[in-house]
Amino acid sequence: MENIYKKLEDTMARNRYTSYIHPPYALECKLVQAINQMDNDKSMETLKQINSLERAQLSKKPLSSLKYSLIASCTFFTRAVIEAGLDTETAFMLSDYYINLIDETDVFDKVQALEYKMLYDFIKVLKKYKENIYNPLINRVITYINKNIENNLTLGEISSFVNVHPNYLCAAFKKEVGKTLSEYINDHRIIAIKLYMNHANSSISEISYAFNFNHITYFSRFFKKHTGLTPSNYRKQRSSTNSLVEDEE
Interval 53-68 mean pLDDT: 87
Distance CA(166)–CA(173), nearest Å, equals 10
Distance CA(83)–CA(38), nearest Å, equals 12
- Please report the pLDDT score of residue 47 as a whole number: 93
* 13 and 108 fall within a common domain: yes
* 220 and 127 fall within a common domain: no
* 55 and 159 fall within a common domain: no
- Please report the pLDDT score of residue 3 as a whole number: 53
**Alpha helix (H) ranges present in the chain?**
2-17, 25-36, 40-51, 62-83, 88-104, 108-131, 136-147, 155-162, 166-177, 181-199, 204-210, 216-227, 231-248
pLDDT for residue 84 is more than 70: yes
Could you count the other beta carbons within 10 Å of the beta carbon of residue 137? 16
* 125 and 140 fall within a common domain: no
Could you count the other beta carbons within 10 Å of the beta carbon of residue 20? 15
Amino acid at site 151: N
Q: Is 18 helix (H, G, I), strand (E, B) or coil?
A: coil
Interval 133-146 mean pLDDT: 86
- Please report the pLDDT score of residue 132 as a whole number: 66
Q: What domain range includes position 177? A: 136-248
- Please report the pLDDT score of residue 241 as a whole number: 61
Distance CA(205)–CA(223), nearest Å, equals 13
- Please report the pLDDT score of residue 142 as a whole number: 87
pLDDT of 10-37, one tens digit each? 543 444 443 344 556 778 888 988 898 8
Q: How confident is the model at residue 242 (pLDDT cuts 50, 70, 90)?
A: low
Percent share of the chain, pLDDT over 70: 85
Measured CA distances, 1 to 10, 56, 58, 89, 121 (Å): 14, 23, 21, 35, 40
Q: At 140, which CATH number?
A: 1.10.10.60
> End of a domain among 107, 131, 155?
131
* 82 and 153 fall within a common domain: no
Domain membership flag for residue 243:
yes
* 127 and 153 fall within a common domain: no
- Please report the pLDDT score of residue 18 as a whole number: 39
Domain membership flag for residue 3:
no
> End of a domain among 131, 154, 185?
131
* 240 and 155 fall within a common domain: yes
pLDDT for residue 5 is more than 90: no
Domain membership flag for residue 101:
yes
* 152 and 169 fall within a common domain: yes
Measured CA distances, 138 to 92, 151, 158, 231, 247 (Å): 21, 19, 11, 31, 45
Domain membership flag for residue 216:
yes
* 34 and 49 fall within a common domain: yes
- Mean of the per-residue pLDDT values of the chain: 84
- Per-residue HEC secondary structure of 189-220 comes to HHHHHHHHHHHCCCCHHHHHHHCCCCCHHHHH
